Structure 1
Amino acid sequence: MTEILLWLGILVALFVGYNIGGSTTGPAFGPAVGSKAISKVVAAGLMSVFFFVGAFTVGRRVVSTLGTELVSSTAIFTLEANVTVLFFIGGALFIGNFFGVPASTSMTAVGAIAGLGLAAGQLEWAVMGEIAVWWIVAPIIAFWVSGVIGRYFYARLNRRIELVQSDGPLIKIERQSVLPRVTRGPNTSTKELAGTGVVVFIGCIMAFSSGTSNIANAIAPLVGSGDLEMNTGIIIGSIAVGVGAFTIGRRTLDTLGNDLTELPLTAAIVVASVSATLVIILSLIGIPASFVIIATMSIIGLGWGRATRTTTVTGMAGDEETRVSVGALATDEGGEQLPEIGEEEPDEIPSASELFNPSTTARVVIMQNVVPLVATVGAYLTFRFVPVYGF
């Protein structure tokens, strides 16, 4: 019976890893894919490699932390309890991925473990409180930093960087000799190549950061209870993440790369830089980073800031000037279609609907709060009222 439960636990851990790959590939490489810097297949491959590197190096520390510090006693991590916790983590994440909305794996996993600890009377409230505060503060910081950049600095920044995407391939591979030679595309400028490299590099850093924190969400209960060896768990979990990145991760790449807000290359650099910086800072102070929420709120903030940027317009008689928002001007009846911020001429104005999608934003925000809540409440009710657990 014990062996059967162990194999069941591993299968559920694989399911969790699969959904982690689906939910975190979008925030890491959504900007790069949305700006057409790389394809979805390349994004999934990079996600798989750098997630494993982060998990195998720093991630083992987070596995130990999540399996010991959030609860007063690791004795509650019985094999039956581990399987149930992983089931709620994977099931809740699958709900978000099914709707194409990447849910926070850290919030979902910590919520499920907290539900177990609360039902067993072993939850460390001080640790939980510190984590929860940062989960609230960090996305707010991401939103407003990106919003300020989008509203006041984006057009100027874009003119300085001038990352206009060219037609044709970014690079080409020549196979005339024994060793293939990689060269720049026929229409690719040095600035475009460098800017694309920055976006992809930051995406790799975010994938690495995801590995450092999110591998624990799949294997921490099994490793903490001693049912699974650390290195074996990391390898198994990382493989499952890679499978999720190549399959269900395509849905979240669409949501964060295309549906939520338009992302020219300059915008992709801003979003990735803000998100990566906050995730790394949180990791350095030992907080399980709400990776998905931070990246999503950064994208929303930048889109909102760009859509609400004000400009001066002249009245019909030509003798009166008024400050209006881009959104108000773009939605004026009879108004013409306007180009995108950062790609317009200095005196042109973009369409707000192209920059900020309120309906998609509402769907993302609602689902990202519902998914962790499902895991937390479901785990608590199960461990509290199902007699088999004995808490």
Structure 2
Amino acid sequence: MVEVLIAIGLVVTLFVGFNIGGSTTGPAFGPAVGAGVLSKLAAGVLMAIFFAIGAWTIGRRVVETLGGELVYSSSVFTLETSIVVLFFIGGALFVGNYAGVPASTSMTAVGAIAGLGAAAGELNWVVMGEIAVWWIVSPLVGFWVSVMIGRYLYPTINRWVAITSSDGKLVAVDRSGTVPTPVLGPNTSRREFVGAAVLVSIGCLMAFSSGTSNIANAIAPLYGAGALGMNPLILLGGAAVTVGALTIARRTLATMGSDITELPLTAAIVVAVVASAIVIGLSAIGIPASFVIIATMSIVGLGWGRATRTTTVTEGIRGKEDTNVSVGALAAEEPGEEVPDIGEEDPEDIPGAADLFDPSTTGRVVLMQNFVPMLSTIGAYATFWVLFTFVW
């Protein structure tokens, strides 16, 4: 019987890892894919590599401590309860991935464990409250920082960075010599290449950060139950994440990279820097960071901030002009162009200004990113309450 439970637990762990790969690849590499720097296949490969590095190094510490503070006693993790917790984590994440919306693995996993802890009377409400407060504050910080950058600083940053997305391949291969060597593409400037390298590097950093925290979401319950050792579980979870990053992540990459807003290279770098800075800051103080939500709100905030440059605050208040958010607003100024003051820009001069920001896509993203963790939390609590009350 124990062997059967372990086998079921491993299958559910693989399912959770698969969905973690699908939900975290979009926020990490969606900006790079949306800017045309990486293909979806390359994004999946990089996600798998750097997630594995993060999981194998720092991730094992998170696995050791995940059940230590959120619940008073780790004895609540048995093979049976671990399987149920993993089922709700994987199932809820699958709902988000199927809808093409990257849900927060940290919120979903913590929600399932909190459901178990609450039903068993072992949940540490002080720790849970502290985590919840930061989950509310951090996306708002990402959104408003990005709004301010988009409205007031983006033109200046664009001139400093001076990156444009050229036609053709970013890197080509020179086969004229004895040994083929990589060279810049025919239309690629050195500055564009450096900017693209920075953008990809930030994505790799986010993938590494995801590995340090999210591997615990897949294997910590099973490890706490004593089913297998740390190293085999990390390898198993990393393999499942790789499959998810190369398959179902294509949906979330499309959502994060193009459906919400078309990201030029400069804007993609801004979003990645803002989101990764907040995630690293939260990780430094021991808060499981939801970089999925932070990155999404940063993308929305930057797009809205850029679009509202075409109207002044006074005009918006007086109702003289409708303030519509354009998906092309991020691509306004070309490097070196004269930047008009706020309120003096003509919406017709902004590339893509005729395409308004899609409220249905944004609404779907926000709805699903709140629904998935709630599904995990409520479902786990209800299930464990029934089990503890009538079965166990």
TM (norm. structure 2) is 0.91
Matched AA of 2:128: M
User: What aligned pairs does 1:1-391 form with structure 2 within 5 A after superposition?
Assistant: 1-177=1-177, 179-311=179-311, 323=315, 328=321, 340-343=331-334, 346=339, 348-349=346-347, 350=350, 354=355, 356-386=357-387
CA distance in 1, matches of 2:332, 2:142: 20
Sequence identity percentage: 62
CA distance in 1, matches of 2:302, 2:380: 35
Identify if the C-alpha distance between structure 1 residues 381 and 163 changes in structure 2 by more than 3 Å, giving closer, same or farther.
same
Matched AA of 1:216: A
Deviation at 1:178, TM superposition (A): 5.6
Is the contact made by 2:173 and 2:182 (CA closer than 8 Å) also made in structure 1? yes
Is the contact made by 1:114 and 1:376 (CA closer than 8 Å) also made in structure 2? yes
Secondary structure of the 2:183 match is: strand
Deviation at 1:329, TM superposition (A): 6.4
CA distance in 2, matches of 1:339, 1:249: 25
TM (norm. structure 1) is 0.91
Is the contact made by 1:310 and 1:323 (CA closer than 8 Å) also made in structure 2? no
Identify if the C-alpha distance between structure 1 residues 353 and 114 changes in structure 2 by more than 3 Å, giving closer, same or farther.
farther
Is the contact made by 2:263 and 2:330 (CA closer than 8 Å) also made in structure 1? no
Deviation at 1:13, TM superposition (A): 0.5
Identify if the C-alpha distance between structure 1 residues 364 and 161 changes in structure 2 by more than 3 Å, giving closer, same or farther.
same
CA distance in 1, matches of 2:290, 2:329: 36
CA distance in 2, matches of 1:19, 1:52: 15
Is the contact made by 1:300 and 1:356 (CA closer than 8 Å) also made in structure 2? no
CA distance in 2, matches of 1:330, 1:301: 14
Matched AA of 1:341: A
Matched AA of 1:342: E
Deviates more, 1:22-31 or 1:177-186: 177-186
Is the contact made by 1:172 and 1:184 (CA closer than 8 Å) also made in structure 2? yes
CA distance in 2, matches of 1:243, 1:2: 28
Deviation at 1:269, TM superposition (A): 0.4
Deviation at 1:225, TM superposition (A): 1.9
Deviation at 1:166, TM superposition (A): 1.2
Q: Any idea what the Cα deviations from partners look like across 1:275-300, whole Å, max 9, x if unmatched?
A: 11111111111111112111111111
Identify if the C-alpha distance between structure 1 residues 163 and 280 changes in structure 2 by more than 3 Å, giving closer, same or farther.
same
CA distance in 1, matches of 2:196, 2:118: 46
Deviates more, 1:153-162 or 1:275-284: 153-162
Is the contact made by 1:104 and 1:292 (CA closer than 8 Å) also made in structure 2? yes
Matched AA of 1:137: V
CA distance in 1, matches of 2:88, 2:178: 52
For structure 1, which runs of at least 5 residues remain unmatched after alignment?
A: 313-321
Deviation at 1:324, TM superposition (A): 5.9
Identify if the C-alpha distance between structure 1 residues 182 and 236 changes in structure 2 by more than 3 Å, giving closer, same or farther.
same
Secondary structure of the 1:27 match is: helix
Q: Any idea what the Cα deviations from partners look like across 1:246-280, whole Å, max 9, x if unmatched?
A: 00000000000000011000000000000111111
For structure 2, which runs of at least 5 residues remain unmatched after alignment?
A: 341-345
Deviation at 1:389, TM superposition (A): 7.9
Deviates more, 1:16-25 or 1:357-366: 357-366
- Aligned residue pairs total 377
Q: Any idea what the Cα deviations from partners look like across 1:311-338, whole Å, max 9, x if unmatched?
A: 57xxxxxxxxx8569x956869xxxx99
Matched AA of 2:236: I
Identify if the C-alpha distance between structure 1 residues 389 and 372 changes in structure 2 by more than 3 Å, giving closer, same or farther.
farther
Is the contact made by 1:8 and 1:83 (CA closer than 8 Å) also made in structure 2? yes
Identify if the C-alpha distance between structure 1 residues 2 and 176 changes in structure 2 by more than 3 Å, giving closer, same or farther.
farther
Is the contact made by 1:304 and 1:355 (CA closer than 8 Å) also made in structure 2? no
Is the contact made by 1:108 and 1:375 (CA closer than 8 Å) also made in structure 2? yes
CA distance in 1, matches of 2:129, 2:389: 29
Is the contact made by 1:311 and 1:323 (CA closer than 8 Å) also made in structure 2? yes
Identify if the C-alpha distance between structure 1 residues 331 and 236 changes in structure 2 by more than 3 Å, giving closer, same or farther.
closer
Q: Any idea what the Cα deviations from partners look like across 1:82-109, whole Å, max 9, x if unmatched?
A: 0000000000000000000000000000
Deviation at 1:127, TM superposition (A): 1.2
Is the contact made by 1:306 and 1:355 (CA closer than 8 Å) also made in structure 2? no
Deviates more, 1:258-267 or 1:342-351: 342-351
